Amino acid sequence: MFDDVVRPRFARMAAPVSRVLARAGVTPSQVTWAGFVLALGAAGVIASGHPLPGLALWLASRTADGLDGALARATDQQTAFGAYLDITLDMAAYCAMVVAFALLHPAHATLWFAVLAGYVLNITTTLALAAAAAESDKVLAAGNRTFQFTRGLAEAGEASVVYVLWALLPGAVVVVGWTWCALLAATVVQRTWLAWHRLPG
């Protein structure tokens, strides 16, 4: 929901940094790995009982996550493997954060299982729809990304907002968490409806 608005603006702001990294010989995959390491650090810090420093590391990791794509486009290094690595490490990072919050708030086990299940269904419907659309020569999402990421209520930007709320408002973890689960479920339904109406058969 936020991503399509934020991505073009971030790309413009990241352009000078991308040029500096390119001159230094830094590759997009190196930035991807750096973002993942920061995300794991964020999860570890949060799990140890320090949500605010962990949140700062998480936001730094998401900056790296946006920067790798900007660097790839700026240096004409967009590759299929780079896209695969990016989405794989992204999902690992988002799941690691859920596990971290689960360790921080262990009394809400059902909630954390529900969030992880929502992530599984969301990434499955996203990639299945992208693959089916490509196989059918259908364009369901505009943009310059390797995979067709169709818009949804629950995307990367919304996930980070949820993590910010969990870190800043521990008393609202349950309300925010189940609201997030509802948005994840709605996005699965949304993409399934799109597949039903736009794909052959």
122 contacts 184 by C-beta, under 8 angstroms: yes
User: How many domains does the chain fold into?
Assistant: 1
Tell me the chain's radius of gyration from C-alpha atoms: 17
Residue 45 has what pLDDT? 98
- What residue numbers bound the domain in which 9 lies? 3-198
pLDDT score of 151: 78
Looking up residue 92, the CATH number of its domain turns out to be: 1.20.120.1760
pTM, 2 dp? 0.90
Residue 11: how many CA atoms within 13 Å on its side-chain side? 14
Cβ atoms of 2 and 158 within 8 Å: the answer is: yes
Instruction: Average pLDDT across each block of 10 residues of the chain; the chain has 201 residues. List them in order.
Output: 66 82 91 97 98 97 91 87 93 98 98 98 91 76 64 89 97 98 96 87 73
